[in-house]
Amino acid sequence: MRSAILNLKSFLFSPSSFQSLIPYSNDIWKMDEYTAQIDQIIPFLIENRDLLESHVTAAFVTDYFSRVPQEWIEYLHQFSYSQLIEISSILNQIQLAGLYNYISSAVNLSPHYPLYTQSFDVSVIEKYGMNPKKMHEVPRLAHYISGKAEQLGLKKAIDIGAGQGYLSHFLVTKAKLKVTAIEAKEHNSHESERRGKLICQRLKTDGEFENISLFVTADNISAYTNEPCVLIGLHTCGDLAASCIKLFLGDPQIKALVNVGCCYNHLTEYISPEAKQSADEYLAKIGHSFQGNSLDETLFAEEEAAGFPLSRYIKEKYPQFFLGRIPRVLAMSEACRAHIENPEATFKRFSYRSAFQILLTESYPQYENIFSVGSRIKSFNNFGDYISKAFNAMGLQNPYENVDVNAIYEERFRSKEKESAIIWSLRSILSGPIENIIILDRALYLREHGAETEIIQIFDKIHSPRNIALAAFKP
């Protein structure tokens, strides 16, 4: 995850100022390809809004199980936890029409973009400090960036949110680009500087590498765009992706953009006047953390400072539409490798959390709408161990210390485990359409302002879940 080093409020470019850079056209660069997908995704998400806003933690408290047809739940009981955790894999076995249509729609509206498979070889020296995930990401993304830079005749790259410089260093050693690595966290910058010197010494190469610790803005980026360049970002967190897009559009020396976003939960959203009532209702029911904070403090950003939506098309055609933090968290909550490898343990954790919510509410009614606890519990032996750690995390006396809570779980909650797993699976499949609408909104915004765009699957999802790269080029 990259530091969110750009403050969107420093990018208060108006749409008219962008139009002065590149003429706007409704049909430029086949914009209908993006709008056609958007026109399918948004109605689908609106139709399933109740499921989107559901808390798995409140499964045993609320009307959670009534948010999908009961016949779907009964039908899916025949499938194992291993099948449910990857519910799209059983699509061809589904014979219930409504359920089949729901799953197939979610699958079809998820990101399906060309897979980029070319990659640089990585030497032992260049692997220094990289974990397996980085070793998958960096050589492949660097190869793509290198090819685009060569096509466009660009000799320089600016890496925004460069972290400890893994991608930056690779572009120097392999792509032979001049690189300015910009990172807000000073510690990361120092590590990047140290790592870069070490790699260049061991490889006996003299690359042009500049390491900057800086909160970059539209006002100071020009100090580093002294020649035509490509602006890059690997896993730009939250609004940082939108900020990079605006930097690209706002600086004439930045000729290309390659960006892989992440951390959609940190996006801010603009809520139009038409959507305010719905947003208020959403905020009223989503609950709080046990520290008393709203679980969604990302809404109601200023229109031109918000990270979503960016495109004029969505703002004008769907003014009542918004996502909210819970759905944006869901965009990153698809079944991961750990889930798939041990589905029983995964669903057990979810069921324990839901059961704890009942006991919490019964013992401490004032915490009825407190949902943000479960992520603090990393390991547990059984339900008794789980609730002991949960009460401790909240700083509350455990009222069940001398009670056999494992027996309580068996009596009151075990029978609901399968239903809980089914609803989680049906909800998790919505992660793809949510991520896709965020990606398409960014791509359409770029096209609205005259840029050519390309969306590709740059990584294998099993190795790097946020695996979609958005590239843009000025004609």
Higher-pLDDT residue of 71 and 17 is 71
pLDDT at 394: 87
Looking at the chain, the whole-number percentage of residues with pLDDT higher than 70 is: 89
pLDDT at 1: 43
- pLDDT(372) > 70: no
Of the ranges 170-179, 236-245, 360-369, 441-450, which one carries the lowest mean pLDDT score?
Answer: 360-369
pLDDT at 377: 82
- Report for 207-216, 300-309, 446-455: range of highest mean pLDDT: 446-455
The confidence band for 23, taking pLDDT boundaries of 50, 70 and 90, is: very low
Burial 211-248 (b: 16+ CB within 10 A, else e): bbbbebebeebeebbeebbbbbbbbbbbbbbbbbbbbb
Query: CB count, 10 Å around CB of 176?
Result: 14
- pLDDT(157) > 80: yes
Cβ burial of 28 (10 Å; 0-12, 13-18, 19+) is middle
Q: Which residues contact 394 (CB under 8 A, 6 or more apart)?
A: 290, 367, 370, 373
258-266 average pLDDT score: 94
pLDDT at 22: 33
pLDDT at 17: 33
Of the ranges 170-179, 224-233, 325-334, which one carries the lowest mean pLDDT score?
Answer: 325-334
CA distance linking residue 57 with residue 35, whole number of Å: 35
pLDDT at 320: 96
153: left (phi over 0), alpha (psi -120 to 50) or beta: left
- Report for 266-275, 296-305, 312-321: range of highest mean pLDDT: 312-321
CATH domain 8-30+114-267+432-473 topology? Rossmann fold (3.40.50)
In this structure, what DSSP letter does residue 116 have? P
CA distance linking residue 185 with residue 469, whole number of Å: 24
Of the ranges 257-261, 294-298, 355-359, which one carries the lowest mean pLDDT score?
Answer: 294-298
Cα torsion 120, 123, 129, 134 to 10°: value is 20
* pLDDT single digits (tens) 394-418: 889 999 988 999 999 999 999 999 9
62-88 average pLDDT score: 90
Q: Which residues contact 13 (CB under 8 A, 6 or more apart)?
A: 218, 246, 249, 250, 304
- pLDDT(279) > 90: no
Q: How far is CA 154 from CA 159, 175, 215, 307, 371, in A?
A: 14, 11, 25, 28, 49
* pLDDT single digits (tens) 190-237: 888 888 888 888 988 878 889 998 888 888 999 999 999 999 999 999
93-101 average pLDDT score: 96
pLDDT at 288: 57
pLDDT at 29: 44
* pLDDT single digits (tens) 305-320: 999 999 999 999 999 9
Backbone angles phi, psi at 210, to 5 degrees: -120, 125
* pLDDT single digits (tens) 120-129: 999 999 999 8
- pLDDT(28) > 80: no
- pLDDT(294) > 80: no
92-98 average pLDDT score: 95
pLDDT at 5: 38
pLDDT at 243: 95
The confidence band for 446, taking pLDDT boundaries of 50, 70 and 90, is: very high
- Mean pLDDT, all residues of the chain: 87
> Using an 8 Å Cβ cutoff, are 138 and 125 in contact?
no
pTM score over 0.95: no
